[in-house]
Amino acid sequence: MGDGSPASETLAARCCIVGGGPAGMMLGLLLARAGVDVIVLEKHADFFRDFRGDTIHPSTLEVVYELGLLEDFLTRPHQKIHLLRGWIGDEMIPVADFSHLPTRCKFIALMPQWDFLDFLTQHARKYPNFHLRMQAEVTELIEEGGRVAGVRAHTPAGSLEVRADLVVGADGRHSTVREKAGLETIDLGAPMDVLWMRLSQQPGDPKESMGRFYPGHVFVMIDRGDYWQCAFVIPKGGFEEVKRRGLDAFREEVARGAPFMRERVSELSDWDHVKLLTVAVNRVREWCRPGLLCIGDAAHAMSPVGGIGINLAIQDAVAAGNILSDPLRRGPAGVDQLRAVQRRREWPTRITQRAQVLIQNRIIGRVLTAQAKSFSAPLPVRLMRRWPFLRRIPARLIGMGVRPEHVSRDLRQAT
C-alpha cells in the first residue's frame, strides 16, 4: 500500500476510527447511536491482549449509566474496589476511599479490557450504521486538497481503502495516524518502567488490591478473582539490569513485596512470564488537522500512576461524541469543531499529567532510590491515616478525574 496501486476493496463512511481500544469503541458507539455512519478499523483479530488496563473508574461507569447500559455492564464478571490501600514500609495506610463520590457507582470496577471492549462492541453492533473491521491495520493516510480524506489499510484479504469526512486516530500510544499526520509530540518523561506478571491466588490471601512501597521498590497487586495481576516498578531502562541479576534474585525481590506469596514466586519460571511496559508520558501539541482528530493514548500517553489511561480515553471519546455527532450527522466536521474537542480535553490532560509527573518524581522516583533507614511515608499520606476524610481527595482525582464528561442529552435520548 502507499505505492499508488489500486486497493482491493474501497469503503466510504462519514467517520473512520482507527483503533478499537476504549477510545475508538466508545466513540464508535456514540456516533452510531447519533445516526452517523461510522467504521472502526482494528488491526488485531480480537480484543484479547494480556496486561492491558482493566480499571473502569466511577466516571466511566457514570457514562455507561448515562447511556442506559449500566445494568448490563454490572451483570458481567468484575471485581469492585471501594478503598485503595498502600503499604508504606511496614505501615498500612488507606489512601483513596471511593464510597463518598457523587456518582452512581462508588467503586472502581475491574474488568478485563477485552470484556469491556466486547461489551461496547455488542451495543454498538445494534446500530446498522456501525461497522467494525478486525484485522485491518492502517498504514497510510489519504490526503486530498490539503485535508485528510481517508486511510489505507492491510487486511488478510488484501488492501483496503476507506474514504471518510473525518478520520479519528484512536490507535494508542504508538499511533500510526499521529505519526503519518506529522503531529508534534511533547514528551514529559518518566523515571520508571513497569514489569507486569500474574501470580495465582490461594485460600487465605487478603481479598484486596494494594500497593506496597518499600526501599528501592514499588509493588502493586490487583485482585483479579482467581489470580493476582502484579506490577513491579523499576527505574527507567532497568529491565536489562534486572535480567542480568537473574530470575532467582528477581523472585526474591517480588517475595519482599508480597511475603504471603513467597511460596508462589516460583510460578515465574521464565522471563516470558514478565512483560515490560515502557512508561511514557506525552501529548501532541495539535490534536487535529483538517479531516483528522486524535484522541485517547494517540493524543496523550498517560503514566500508569492512578490507572487512569482508560478513563481519559473514554472521556475524550465522550467529548468528541458530544461535540461532533451533530455536525457529522449533517456533513463533514470543520476544523473549528475538531479544535473544540482539543480545547475541551487538553486542560484535563495537562493537569492530570502534571499531577502524575509530580507523583512519579516526588514519590515513586524517591522510593526507587530510597535507602532503608531514610524510608517513611510522606506527610500528606500519613495524615490520611489520622483523618479519613482526606482519603476522599485522591478518590475524587482518581475516580472522577479533572472535568469529568457527561453524555449530552441528545446522545442520551438517541437509542
Interface with ligand FAD (CB under 6 A), residue from 58, 86, 257, 296:
296
What amino acid is encoded at 312 in this protein? L
Site for ligand FAD contains 54 (CB under 6 A): yes
Give Cα 360 distance to the centre of its chain.
18
Map residues 228-257 to x or -, x wherever contact with ligand FAD holds by CB under 6 A: ------------------------------
Site for ligand FAD contains 401 (CB under 6 A): no
Interface with ligand FAD (CB under 6 A), residue from 297, 338, 400, 404:
297
Minimal distance, residue 231 CB to ligand FAD, in Å: 8
Cβ-based burial of 200 (10 A; exposed 0-12, middle 13-18, buried ≥19): exposed
Minimal distance, residue 112 CB to ligand FAD, in Å: 11
Site for ligand FAD contains 315 (CB under 6 A): no
Site for ligand FAD contains 403 (CB under 6 A): no
Which CB sits closer to ligand FAD, 140 or 253? 140
- Cα 114 to Cα 52: distance, rounded to the nearest angstrom: 9
CB 110 within 8 A of CB 222: yes
User: Given the C-alpha cell 509530540, which residue does it identify?
Assistant: 185
User: Given the C-alpha cell 466508545, which residue does it identify?
Assistant: 26
Minimal distance, residue 42 CB to ligand FAD, in Å: 5
User: Given the C-alpha cell 482539543, which residue does it identify?
Assistant: 342
Q: What are the counts of helices (DSSP H) followed by strands (DSSP E) for the chain?
A: 13, 21
Classified as helix, coil or strand, 209 is: coil
Minimal distance, residue 323 CB to ligand FAD, in Å: 18
- Cα 346 to Cα 335: distance, rounded to the nearest angstrom: 16
Site for ligand FAD contains 161 (CB under 6 A): no
What amino acid is encoded at 178 in this protein? R
The Cα-based distances of 49 to 113, 220, 337 in angstroms read: 8, 20, 34
Site for ligand FAD contains 394 (CB under 6 A): no
The residues in 169-208 that bind ligand FAD, with binding defined as CB under 6 A, are 170-172, 176, 196
Q: Which residues bind ligand FAD (CB under 6 A)?
A: 18-24, 41-44, 51-55, 137-138, 170-172, 176, 196, 277, 296-298, 302, 304, 307-311, 313
